[in-house]
């Protein structure tokens, strides 16, 4: 009876798998703060993509982890056609073709030696306009490498418009933009920084959003849509379900939510201690995100949950 009258249902197609690929490793590298998640090799990433397709997952969001020696002040690996992310995009497209939406993180934080999402000025502050030039170039090389969707996550002012224009001018009108519209300066990103071997010292409060604010997110939403976003995202998901609901009510484009590394780690850690039932907690958390208005959910459990939903 409960199943028959359930108002909210998860489906494998709701799910997107975030995945990390690391340059220069011969075996997948476990991420200590994210049990069950690894930094993939190129080969293991292709296997993970194929498993996601078989499970019915809709998409995979790729994050590249370059060798430390290749990072520099402007994030050169992010625009190098042979950078690890671009190589991984080509690998995955060759493996799964159009059976899986192949998405790419469009940001500089994984590739800069200072760990910020943009180019810094002489005073060590993020230079918004100089960063936009880098984002435009990143969009072009990611599209050329095979990305179906680019996900600008740096929270620079005007980034969606600049990226849309760069893609269109390069003949990539069909490449979609998933805008990180409401990305908060959250304490829950910690494990992710281990996952991408971040060089960040300090924080990103000058360009990510204040957790205390709501209207700021709605203003960013209006700007992203005006600039050409095809889809929008709220990140993190669990602590910001009210924001997610407001965004979903306000738009007629697909709305995604990212269940981030800290949300994942808390459930896995508590379950390991025997304090909660792991599988029930995972499904409850994801159902809550869907109930709040997410059309799609980025979650590190995507393939596992999709397989269970299909069984």
Judged on CB neighbours under 10 Å (0-12, 13-18, 19+), 210 is: exposed
Note if 46 is an active site residue. no
| Residue of 183, 201, 290, 308 marked catalytic | 183
Which residues partner with 120 through β-bridges? 126
d(C-alpha 124, C-alpha 268), whole Å: 37
Residues 6+ apart with CB under 8 A from 43: none
Cβ neighbours around 265 below 10 Å, total: 22
Cβ neighbours around 128 below 10 Å, total: 17
DSSP designation for 186: -
d(C-alpha 54, C-alpha 62), whole Å: 18
Please compute Rg for the chain using Cα positions.
18
Residue 199: both structure tokens together = 């060089």
Residue 106: both structure tokens together = 């469009």
DSSP H/E element including 310: helix 302-310
> CB–CB of 160/227 below 8 Å?
yes
Single out the residue of 89, 118, 258 nearest to residue 189, CA to CA: 258
DSSP designation for 111: T
Q: What's the sign of the alpha-carbon dihedral 255, 197, 103, 73?
A: positive
- Look at residue 39 and give its three-state secondary structure: strand
| Residue of 46, 71, 205, 235 marked catalytic | 235
d(C-alpha 84, C-alpha 68), whole Å: 12
Note if 235 is an active site residue. yes
Active-site annotation, residues: 183, 235
């Amino acid at each position: 009876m409960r199943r028959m009258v359930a108002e909210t249902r998860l489906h494998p197609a709701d799910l997107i798998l975030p995945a990390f690929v690391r340059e220069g490793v011969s075996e997948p590298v476990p991420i200590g703060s994210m049990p069950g998640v690894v930094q993939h090799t190129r080969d293991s990433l292709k296997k993970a993509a194929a498993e996601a397709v078989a499970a019915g997952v809709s998409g995979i969001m790729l994050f590249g982890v370059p060798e430390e020696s290749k990072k520099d002040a402007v994030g050169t690996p992010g625009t190098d056609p042979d950078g690890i992310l671009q190589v991984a995009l080509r690998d995955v497209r060759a493996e799964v073709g159009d059976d899986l939406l192949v998405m790419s993180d469009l940001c500089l934080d994984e590739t800069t030696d200072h760990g910020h999402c943009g180019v810094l000025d002489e005073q060590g502050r993020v230079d918004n306009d100089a960063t936009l030039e880098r984002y435009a170039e990143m969009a072009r090389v990611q599209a050329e490498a095979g990305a179906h969707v680019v996900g600008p996550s740096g929270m620079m002012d005007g980034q969606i418009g600049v990226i849309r224009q760069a893609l269109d001018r390069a003949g990539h009108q069909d490449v979609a933009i998933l805008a990180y519209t409401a990305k908060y300066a959250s304490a829950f990103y910690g494990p992710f920084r281990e996952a991408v071997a971040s060089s960040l010292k300090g924080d990103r409060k000058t360009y990510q959003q204040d957790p205390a604010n709501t209207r700021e997110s709605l203003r960013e939403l209006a700007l992203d849509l005006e600039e050409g976003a095809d889809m929008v995202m709220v990140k993190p998901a669990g602590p910001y379900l009210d924001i997610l609901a407001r965004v979903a009510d306000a738009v007629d484009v697909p709305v995604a939510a990212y269940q981030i590394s800290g949300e994942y780690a808390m459930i896995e850690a508590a379950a390991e201690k025997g304090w909660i039932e792991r599988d029930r907690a995972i499904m409850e958390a994801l159902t809550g995100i869907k109930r709040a208005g997410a059309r799609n959910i980025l979650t590190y459990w995507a393939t596992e949950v999709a397989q269970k939903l299909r069984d």
